[in-house]
Amino acid sequence: MKAITNTAFNFNHQTAKYEGKVRDVYTINDDYIVMIATDRISAFDVILPKGIPYKGQVLNQIASMFLDATADIVQNWKIASPDPMVTVGYKCQGLPIEMIVRGYLTGSSWRAYKNGARQICGVPIPDGMREHQKFEHPIITPTTKAEIGTHDEDISKEEIIRRGLVSAEDYAKIEDYALRLFQRGTEMAAKRGLILVDTKYEFGMRNGEIYLIDEIHTPDSSRYFYADGYEERFAKGEPQRQLSKEFVREWLMSNGFSGQAGQQVPEMTDEIVRSISDRYIELFEHITGEKFQPAEYGEDPYARIESNINNILARLV
């Protein structure tokens, strides 16, 4: 089955289209957005040359579930998910930062710590910590929201406010929302035998109010460990069994690619593509507790997607 890596729809009342690293976003009547989770995959802020079958469906359905499960914490942009790969919602003005919440010292934070950093985004990290160690309390390490093709940059809370990217009052709100969302995600993951290690949240404004936007708690935006065996592996200094996109980054780095200028993306064989797809499906089934039901692709999956979107837009616009 071929991956769906690009879309080229033209909906009634469409006023704009934006192609992100993974999602194609159509603006409708300057009031709604249609977000299609394609099968594109990115790492180190680079879109990889091959798509991953069913990845878009996995991301969209996990995010949709968590948006519904956290709507009591903060209002979000979602109106409906009319297709396995699509969510339709309110258009918000995105805030120019991403809120990274970390419960454990791992991934990029560990790499920085191992190289001597004892402060990340203005947050002090104590001496003597080990890879995959749990923080006493989750920490927030924000980044700037980069345009496609450029790297997100670490930034402190103080710098965000000083530069006027977000007001002090609004930052306090989204900081509180982010920690509460992380706590909810942690509780839901624990029920499925997983540990929510770290994740990112994006927020936007609509009619002067803060909304949670984009995806949440998916393997593209989050890292999960299996809870079973975590303590034993940590005690022995062994790698954790994890469900996240980190294994893609690790595969790339082991093949000489980390997003630096002049480096070439290694060949993505059919075997690699299938293994990545299987890992995404595995996470879906673990985090939702449901059997993954692949969307019907048929002869023309684009016709299915377009029809499902048009049906809901007819009721909204």
Place of tokens 């979602």: 78
Task: Specify the pLDDT at position 147.
Answer: 58
pTM: 0.90
Q: What is the pLDDT of residue 246?
A: 76
Where residue 42 falls (left for φ over 0; alpha for ψ -120 to 50; beta otherwise) is: beta
- In 3D, which of 221, 201, 219, 182 has the Cα closest to residue 95? 201
Rounded distance, CA 102 to CA 152, Å? 16
Would you report the helix, strand and coil content of the chain in percent, each value rounded to 5? 35, 25, 40
The pLDDT of residue 149: 47
Burial class (CB in 10 A: 0-12, 13-18, 19+), 149: exposed
The two tokens of residue 219 are: 């393997």
CA–CA distance, 252 with 256 (Å, rounded to integer): 6
CATH class of 14-93+268-316: alpha beta
Tokens at 283, concatenated: 């996470």
- Which residues fall within 8 angstroms of residue 253, CB to CB, at 6 or more apart? none
- Beta-bridge mates of residue 134: 104
DSSP β-ladder status, 42-43 and 93-94: unpaired
Measured from the Cβ of residue 62, the count of other Cβ atoms closer than 10 Å reads: 24
Q: pLDDT by residue (tens digit) across 181-208?
A: 999 999 999 999 999 999 999 999 999 9
Which residues, including other chains, have CB under 8 Å from residue 108's CB and lie 6 or more apart?
none
Tell me the β-bridge partners of 89. 33, 78
How high is the pLDDT of residue 2? 82
Residues of the chain with pLDDT under 70: 1, 146-151, 297
**57-96 pLDDT, tens digit each:** 999 999 999 999 999 999 999 999 999 999 999 999 999 9
